[in-house]
Chains A and B, each alone.
Chain A
C-alpha cells in the first residue's frame, strides 16, 4: 500500500515539477511544504489525516501571504519567507517530540487504505487537469501577451496550477515530510530536462523518474530500515547525476 501511494504521489510530483522548472518555481514547493507543519502537528496530536492537516495549513499560509501582499509593499518572496518561517515556528511550539521525525521527513509506513485511495484519486485528477492546460501554461511562459492574444486565460490557468501545487505539496508531506517537498518536484524534472528534446518526453520522463525513485527508495527502506523519504530523494539525485552524464543539451 505504501508503495502504491508513493508511486502515485511521486509521479504527479514529477509531472507538475516539470512545469514548475519551466516557470522557474521549483523552490516554491519547499516553503509550501514547511507551511504544512502546524497542520501536520495538529493532525499528529488529534490523530486525523496528515494530508488534511497539511492542506489546511498550507491554505491558511497562502491566504496570509496574499493578504499581506495586498496591504504591504513587500515582495511576495519576502512575505513567503515571513509566513513560512512563522509557520514552522508555530508548528514546533506544539509538535509532539516523538512525532518530529515523521513530520520532518515523512513516514511512508504510516499509510492506510484511505490514504492510498486519496492519493490515487487526487493524483489522477490533478494529472488530467494539468495535462489539459500544460501547453497553455508553457506558451504563457514563453510570452504572456502572445498567449493572451490567442485567448488563453492566463490568470485562470495560473490559479489552477497554483492550487495543484499546493495539493501536491500537501500529499508529498506524507512520504518525504515537510523538509523535502521541493526535492520531489525538482530533482526528477531536472533529470528529465537533461534528457528530453520536447515537452512530451520532458513531462513523461519527469513522472517516470519520480516513480523509479519512489520504487527503489521504498525497496531500499525495506532492506536497510533507513527512513524512506530521504532514500527516495537520494535515488532521485542519483538519477539526476546519471542524466547529467547523458545530457543532450550542451
Chain B
C-alpha cells in the first residue's frame, strides 16, 4: 500500500516543555490508526501538529494533494445553541450544495427532509450532534480524517453508532483515519495500527503487538487490566 504520511523525529515544544519528543511513524493509505495514551500525553497536540496548526521540529510529509478532514475534541453543543446558526448555515461553510448536504446528513442517519437545515445544531441530542459533526467532516470528501475523541459525552449505544458509522465510511470511501480514543476496545476492534503515546515514550505497531500489559503499565504508569478478547 502507498504511504500517505511519514513522520520523522517529530518534536513539539510548548512553553519550554516538550509535549512530543523524537516521534517517528508511517501511515499507509487506508489504515485506521488509533492513538491512545493518558491525559496530557500529547495526542491532541499530535493531531494539531499534523494539521500544521503548531510549530514543530522534525519532518512531517503528507503525500501530494491530500485533503484532510478534522474533528476537534469537545466541540460544544451548548456553544452552538447560544448562536442563532442553522444546520444549513453551518454546512455551507464547506458546501454550497443543499442537496449534497441533505444526502450527507441522511448517510449519518439524520434524514427526514429539508426541515433539518433550518434547525439549530444545539437542538439535536448529543448523539445526533456528534453524527452531524461526522457528516460535516466528510462533506468535502477528504482523503484523511483526523478524529479527536469523537465519542466523548455520548452513551455506549451512541458510541457504537459513531464507530460503526466511521467504519462504514472508511470502507465505502477508502479513507485513512486517525482516531484519538481512550477506549481500548475500539483499538482492538477497529484499528489496523496503534500509536501509544506518553510524551517522550512511544510504541507503535499493530494493536496486539503494542497493547501488552507491560507496555500499558509503562505508558499509563499503573497496571492496566486489559485483556484481549475475540468476538469470533
Answer whether residue B93 sits at the interface, using C-beta atoms and an 8 A cutoff.
yes
Closest-by-CB residue of A relative to B68 is A149
Q: Evaluate contact between B89 and A199: CB separation under 8 angstroms.
A: yes
B72's partner among A22, A143, A196, A198 (CB-CB below 8 A) is: A143
Q: Give the number of residue pairs across the A-B interface with Cβ within 8 Å.
A: 57
| Known A145-B53, A148-B53, A149-B51; contact A198-B75, beta-carbon cutoff 8 A | no
Contact at A197–B53, with CB atoms within 8 Å?
Answer: no
**CB of B157 to closest CB in A, whole Å:** 26
Question: Contacting chain A: which of B78-86, B170-178, B179-187, B210-218?
Answer: B78-86
B112: min CB distance to chain A, Å:
18
Known A-B contacts A149-B70, A198-B89, A200-B89; the reply to A142 vs B51 at CB < 8 A is no
The interface residues of chain B lying within 8 Å CB-to-CB of A149 are 51, 53, 68, 70, 72
Residues of B within 8 A of A197 (CB): 84, 86, 118, 120
Q: In whole Å, how far is A30's beta carbon from the nearest beta carbon of chain B? A: 21
Kindly identify, within residues 179 to 207 of chain A, every residue whose CB is under 8 Å from any CB belonging to chain B: 193, 196-202
A241 within 8 A of B: no
Pair B84/A145 contact, Cβ less than 8 Å: no
B114 close to A (CB within 8 Å): no
Which one of A141, A146, A150, A196 contacts B84 once the chains associate, using CB atoms below 8 Å? Answer: A196
Q: Does B94 contact A (CB under 8 A)?
A: yes
Tell me the smallest distance from the CB of A117 to a CB of chain B, in Å: 34
Say yes or no: B118 contacts A198, CB within 8 Å: yes
B118 surroundings in chain A (CB, below 8 A):
197-198
Chain B count of residues within 8 A CB distance of the other chain: 21
Which partner residue on chain B sits nearest A136 by CB separation?
A: B93
- Residues from chain A with a CB closer than 8 A to the CB of B93 are 135-136, 139, 150
Identify whether the interface residues of B are mostly helix, strand, loop, or mixed: loop
B48 within 8 A of A: yes
Also in contact, A199 and B85, with CB within 8 A (given A142-B79, A145-B53): yes
Cα–Cα, bound, A145→B75 (Å)? 10
B86 & A199 in contact (Cβ 8 Å cutoff): yes
Knowing A135-B93, A150-B93, A198-B118, say if A145 contacts B72 (CB, 8 Å): yes
Find out whether the CB atom of A145 lies under 8 angstroms from the CB atom of B83.
Answer: no
Nearest CB of chain B from residue A15's CB, rounded to whole Å: 14
Across the interface, B83 reaches (CB within 8 A) one of A22, A143, A150, namely A22
Report A153 CB to chain B, min CB distance, Å.
12
Report the minimum CB–CB distance from B136 to chain A (whole Å). 9
Quote the shortest CB–CB distance from B202 to chain A (angstroms): 23
A residues 13-62 in Cβ contact with B at 8 Å = 22
14 contacts between A and B (CB under 8 A): A135-B92, A135-B93, A145-B53, A145-B72, A146-B70, A149-B53, A149-B72, A196-B84, A197-B84, A198-B84, A198-B88, A198-B89, A199-B83, A199-B84
B: which residues have CB within 8 A of A?
48, 51, 53, 68, 70-72, 75, 79-80, 83-86, 88-89, 92-94, 118, 120
